[in-house]
Amino acid sequence: MNERFFELKKEKQDRMINAALKVFSQYGYRHASTDEIIRDAQISKGLLFHYFESKIGLYAFLYDYATRFVTLELTQNVEPGENDFFVLYKQILNAKTDSMYRYPYVFLFLDKADEESDQDALGEIEERRDKYHRLMDALKERADITVFGTDMDYVKVWNLLDFTVDGLMLRAVRSDNFRADFLLEEATEYVDMIKNITLK
């Protein structure tokens, strides 16, 4: 990756990043088209490859950039000592929606990367992907599970929250008028509803 990419105006950087996030999140590495990326980014193919020498170079940069950006948002939104199960989940949710203000497709891209089977792509992202997963697992492990009765499976509660939020996120991003603040408001209502059901 050409370091001069970061010398571009931020608006142009984000336009290129968002176009690549969108296309890779829809098709995965192998089937993603750089023609579609340049069309969405409104740039030439020559410019894309001036900053990223190849499609794999772009993909590797994008994964590294996305996980670093999300990690920063988590650091800023999740309080170091917080372990209340639902408060912690809401803080992670805040970090996710804050990330999506700037990069709406970032989590769809990261989810798609988890399904990646192309060996070249996996070779480029595997180390960073493992590090990102360890971070997310460490956050989950902080959650106080003693709030649940013995008949309540806390892992399934967390999964239920994730499935719900992921579904809301997918629907919101695919709409014509995506707004991260609306997503946060709706998702928080679902989190509160699940809290009220599971802590009865």
Q: What tens digit of pLDDT does each residue of 21-65 get?
A: 999 999 999 999 999 999 999 999 888 998 998 999 999 999 999
CATH of the domain at 11: 1.10.357.10
Q: 176 vs 96, which has greater pLDDT?
A: 96
Q: Is the model's pLDDT at 160 over the cut of 80? A: yes
Write down the pTM of the prediction: 0.93
Q: Please give the pLDDT value at position 200.
A: 67
Contact status, residue 158 vs residue 89, Cβ threshold 8 Å: yes
Q: What whole-number distance in Å separates Cα of residue 19 and Cα of residue 17?
A: 6
Residue 134 reports pLDDT greater than 90: yes
Cα–Cα distance, 161 to 91 (Å, whole number): 13
Residue 1 has pLDDT above 60, yes or no: no
C-beta separation of 103 from 18 below 8 A: yes
Q: Does residue 2 carry a pLDDT above 70?
A: no
Number of structural domains (the chain) is: 1
Confidence of residue 184 (pLDDT cuts 50, 70, 90): very high
Q: Are 109 and 37 in contact (CB under 8 A)?
A: no
Q: What is the pLDDT of residue 3?
A: 75
Q: Are 17 and 49 a contacting pair, CB within 8 Å?
A: no
Host H or E run for residue 41: helix 34-41
- Whether 59 contacts 124, CB under 8 Å: yes
Residue 43 exposed, middle or buried by CB count within 10 Å (0-12, 13-18, 19+)? middle
Across 148-169, average pLDDT: 95
Compute how many other C-beta atoms are within 10 angstroms of the C-beta atom of residue 105: 24
The confidence score (pLDDT) of residue 113 equals: 96
What residue has token string 């590294």?
64
Q: Give the pLDDT of residue 139.
A: 96
Residues spanned by the domain of 63: 3-198
* pLDDT at 83 > cutoff 60: yes
* Spatial separation of the C-alpha atoms in residues 92 and 89, rounded to whole Å: 5
Whether 118 has a pLDDT exceeding 60, the answer reads: yes
